[in-house]
A and B are shown apart, each in its own frame.
Chain A
Amino acid sequence: MKHETLYRSAHRRWLAFGQDPDRPEQIIDTNQFVVIDGEEALLIDPGGSEVFPAMLGALTGRVDPKMIRYMFLSHQDPDVSSSLPLWRSIVPGEISIFVSWLWTGFVSHFDPQATFQPIPDEGMDLRFTSGRSLKFIPAHYLHSSGNFSLYDPEAKVLFSGDIGAALVPESAKTSLFVEDFEAHLPYMEGFHQRWMPSEEAKQSWVRRVRGLEIDVLAPQHGLLFKGKNVGRFLDWFSALKIGVAADPTPQPV
């Protein structure tokens, strides 16, 4: 599994993991992220149970298991969180699991013993023991009806969940980052048009995010955007017609 350090300071690190070469072909590729703040670590969308062994391998030597104290699930999908009971079985202490209040009862189907920190619709801060914090930014209907992005004002990294996601062929995975924005567009277009249903929600999220300083925009699938490609992505997404990839009234067969 590839990994990259997105940000590093004396007390904060952002690590990205993805493009597992041993992933079974039928399983959608996912990016996993870890934020380390002092002696505490946050797992962001830790992935499905199939990714779990590869993630442990990737974390070895980089993240001490005793540091893992928090988990954030951007939404309820199995590729985001079906590994939850496996993580809870190996992490030595308690984990605070942040997820939209809408999904706590649903995600519990993966792990009935887990206790959740429900995120209200308007979002909230995740405060580390150090007092430093990250922000959960509402991204409802993009694509899930209870959905959040996560922003780090210090690192200027925005984890965007499925926003910015792309289905990238193996041949185009030469880096974890988008290198040729125009060439990347075909891999994103269908995904956003089909999975994102609400124009109003999209514009609201774009408005909110444009007010943030972002060096890296990190989606859960595909490649990450950095530098000028962040603004390019926001412009493209704002203009994209969404909720149109499938005929809502198909003819009966």
Chain B
Amino acid sequence: MLTSKAVDSKPSATNLALLAFEELAELQTLAKNLSFLSYNAGFAGFRAGEAGRTVSVLTQFTRRVSEELQQAHAEIQNLRSKTYRKNAELLVLQRKECSFCASVNLLAKVSSEERGEEGAEESPYAELCRLAIERSRAEIESGFFAILGFLDALRNCSQDLEEVLIRMENIATRVAIEATGIRDHETDFVQVAERMRSDCRTLQNMLFKTKRAIRNAQKESRSRMTG
């Protein structure tokens, strides 16, 4: 019995790839939060006068980080869109492969029923269907390679985001240090530092889940291709 490779692989590698992109879906929200936070920190620095000058400078770095997150979000959205499209193309190809497999099986059944098991003459359509299956599978493999490429690009984006995360953590630490020297406005700056640290933890968590999802998807894709 000829079975479709597509039907055999559950959960499908392509679905896992899509999940990897979903882990970073909240990146834009995080970038916006950070942007608001930088403005609020800027106002707090302004209210603190000379004592808040260092914090005011730090808020400019925070805005830059927010912009980098926005850019990363746009890049990831583009990759996500390409992955969804490729996934849809694969679904169509897999549907075709299933039809050809069903045809080969039915033709084998018809041949054996009509002519007996011994010396059953094969339908000429069976060979044509097998060739079509080979072509479909080649296209499917090529689609999987494309998705692996998108996953690699996502992994590179994640690595860039890890560097952004380190800078965010440094800024949060600097703001917290500055807060200890500004008695009158300490609460404002401590709140800014805490919220930044919270955003850092959110990003860290997102990146951790994304890396894990990428690993799972790549593992599944490779086993799907060699299976």
Contact = CB atoms under 8 A, between A and B. Distances in A.
B82 interface: no
Interface in B87-129: 95-96, 99-100, 102-103, 105-107, 109-111, 114, 123-125, 128-129
A64 B128 CA distance: 11
A41 B123 CA distance: 17
Nearest to A91: B128
B137 to A, nearest CB: 12
Given A54-B106, A60-B110, A49 B99 contact: yes
A61 B95 CA distance: 27
B129 A90 contact: yes
Summarize B's interface: helix, strand, loop or mixed: helix
A86 B109 CA distance: 20
Contacts of B109: 57
A74 B56 CA distance: 73
B135 interface: yes
A86 B135 CA distance: 12
A49 B107 CA distance: 16
A60 B99 CA distance: 17
A65 B125 contact: yes
B128 A90 contact: yes
Chain A interface size, under 10 / 10 to 19 / 20 to 34 / 35 or more: 10 to 19
A185 interface: no
Interface in B164-220: none
Contacts of A57: 103, 106-107, 109-110, 123
A60 B125 CA distance: 7
A249 interface: no
A118 interface: no
Contacts of B125: 56, 59-60, 65, 90
B135 A60 contact: no
Given A49-B99, A59-B125, A60-B124, A89 B132 contact: yes
Contact of A86 (B99, B110, B131): B99
A56 B126 CA distance: 9
A89 B135 contact: yes
A85 interface: yes
A151 to B, nearest CB: 29
Contacts of A64: 124
Interface in A48-85: 49, 52-54, 56-57, 59-61, 64-65, 85
A38 interface: no
Contacts of B100: 86, 89-90
A90 B132 contact: yes
A65 B128 contact: yes
Interface in B5-30: none
Interface string B123-153: 1110011011001100000000000000000
Interface of A: 49, 52-54, 56-57, 59-61, 64-65, 85-86, 89-92
8 contacts: A49-B95, A57-B103, A57-B107, A60-B111, A86-B99, A86-B100, A89-B135, A90-B132
Q: Pick the 4 closest A-B CB pairs, nearest first.
A: A60-B123, A53-B103, A90-B128, A56-B125
Interface of B: 95-96, 99-100, 102-103, 105-107, 109-111, 114, 123-125, 128-129, 131-132, 135-136
Given A53-B106, A61-B123, 19 more contacts: A49-B95, A49-B99, A53-B99, A53-B102, A53-B103, A56-B103, A56-B107, A56-B123, A56-B125, A56-B129, A57-B106, A60-B111, A60-B124, A61-B114, A65-B124, A85-B96, A90-B125, A90-B129, A90-B131
